[in-house]
Amino acid sequence: MSRSDALARAARLFDDGGFLALLRDKVAFRTESQASGQDDALRAYLADGLGPDLLRLGFESRILDNPDGRHGPFLIAERHESAELPTVLVYGHGDTVLGVPEQWRAGLEPWRVVVEGERWYGRGIADNKGQHLVNLAALEQVMAARGGRLGFNVKLLVEMGEEVGSPGLRALCAAEREALAADLLIASDGPRLSAERPTLFLGSRGAYNFELVVDLREGGHHSGNWGGLLRNPGIVLAHAIAALVDADGRILVEGLRPPPIPAGVRAALAGLEVGGGPTDPAIDPNWGEPGLTAAEKLFAWNTLDVLAFKTGNPEGPLNAVPPRAVATLQMRFVVGTDWENAPAILRAHLDHHGFGSVQVRAARQEVFQATRLDVEDPWVDWALGSIRRSTGKDPVLLPNLGGSLPNDAFAHLLGLPTLWVPHSYPACSQHAPDEHLLAPVVREGLVLMAGLFWDLGETGPALLASRRAA
């Protein structure tokens, strides 16, 4: 059979309802990693949800406990055809954020797929069950079109703790380095640039969350008796934040600003429009680093955002000077940023501006590091050409995603070139009520992934050999 046969099979799987049935089965697993006591439910998704599918596809799989001893398990599976062939690592995560069923629109519920026109609703359907299922289904169609073989080896890694920061993933990759050894990562997460355009991104911005705390005294004191005499921690903290980022969102801490945008990255982003969809928020053109396009701000620069700020009792304000104030901030950062020294850089900057009373501390255990495969890597042109051939569209190339993924585990620890092909879109409501996928994007995703995997079996060996020789 031919490449066109593989693509036709992938399209038919969608048209006949086979993929929707697969999705209904997987979404029904309540896999809320952010809730306590969920280990059995998380493990069930790997064993009972994915296990039968992987067995049918000829994978040998095993479920491993999380190295940190507290969070969800991992699944590692392998389908081996020949040591002479390329090996691709496919990644996904089966855990979700909280279902919050009471917040979904009438007629919708998180653990049941509901179809309304082109929208398929369900928790985890976009992030990330639907996305890794597209890739597994595409593999199956290529295998069927090739008479039971792929033309390459596949390893699969599925984690169940991505929504709580991927605890244990890096330790697992270090411990299972040989089992996860491959020539290339192909995975799917995050959104396309827009629903209409297939997208390829090569890494992700990093994410460093930290807290600023001003803790001045025990208990509050009447503002009529003590106001004007006691330092107010909320005011101190507000001014401390203003010393880090200005009123237009520009980072003022020199050590947390990124290096100049590389020419290849700037060229890849030239002409890309961000937002503009019917449900997208309006972009403020004057927010962020001046002199950059919206695409450069989102994909090639650092941002510093206040995620939460609390002082006193916002739900019931008292006539008292509060004793304490705390804010959670997040820095999204690109390759080349000195994130490892961020605590010391912040400490020195705050001290220089007279904010010695402001404490700095990390707000999460894991840091998503910034990654970016070189846009001139041969795998990039190969993937773009395959997607273009399968869809008849010119795909978007993003040097990295604006959001953050645990891609550093694959790019840094395993040393893999990383290609990410998302099957969602910016307004999918991931992490929110009414999460959904768009049916046309799913169908196109099945087709283009079948094409990508077919081409890996056809031209992958030669490309790998030439890349190694370079």
- CA separation for the pair 159, 168 (Å, rounded): 9
Bridge partner list, 154: 79, 88
pLDDT band of 467, cuts 50, 70, 90: confident
Residue 168 tokens read as 């244990």
Q: How far is CA 380 from the centre of its chain?
A: 19
pLDDT band of 261, cuts 50, 70, 90: very high
Q: Give the length of the chain.
A: 470
- CA separation for the pair 280, 91 (Å, rounded): 28
Q: What is the pLDDT of residue 1?
A: 80
Using an 8 Å Cβ cutoff, are 360 and 343 in contact? yes
The β-bridge relationship of strands 199-201 and 396-398 is parallel
**pLDDT over 90 percentage in the chain:** 94
- CA separation for the pair 283, 366 (Å, rounded): 30
Q: pLDDT digit string (tens) for 388-437?
A: 999 999 999 999 999 999 999 999 999 999 999 999 999 999 999 999 99
Q: pLDDT digit string (tens) for 67-92?
A: 998 899 999 999 999 999 999 999 99
Q: What is the pLDDT of residue 392?
A: 98
- CA separation for the pair 101, 249 (Å, rounded): 35
Q: What is the pLDDT of residue 83?
A: 95
Q: Across residues 94-103, what is the average pLDDT?
A: 97
Q: pLDDT digit string (tens) for 138-193?
A: 999 999 999 999 999 999 999 999 999 899 999 999 999 999 999 999 999 999 99
- CA separation for the pair 258, 288 (Å, rounded): 13
Q: pLDDT digit string (tens) for 323-334?
A: 999 999 999 999
Residue 321 tokens read as 């000077």
CATH 3.40.630.10 location in the chain: 3-204+370-469
Whether residue 279 has pLDDT greater than 90: no
Q: How far is CA 124 from the centre of its chain?
A: 13
* CATH class held by domain 3-204+370-469: alpha beta
Q: What is the pLDDT of residue 365?
A: 63
Residues in contact with 409: Cβ distance below 8 Å, sequence separation at least 6, in sequence order: 166, 169, 170, 173
Residues in contact with 330: Cβ distance below 8 Å, sequence separation at least 6, in sequence order: 207, 208, 209, 210, 304, 305, 307
Q: Is domain 206-258+302-362 given the CATH code 3.30.70.360 in the classification?
A: yes
What angle in degrees, to the nearest 10, is found between the helix axes of 439-469 and 378-391? 150
- CA separation for the pair 335, 375 (Å, rounded): 13
CATH 3.30.70.360 location in the chain: 206-258+302-362
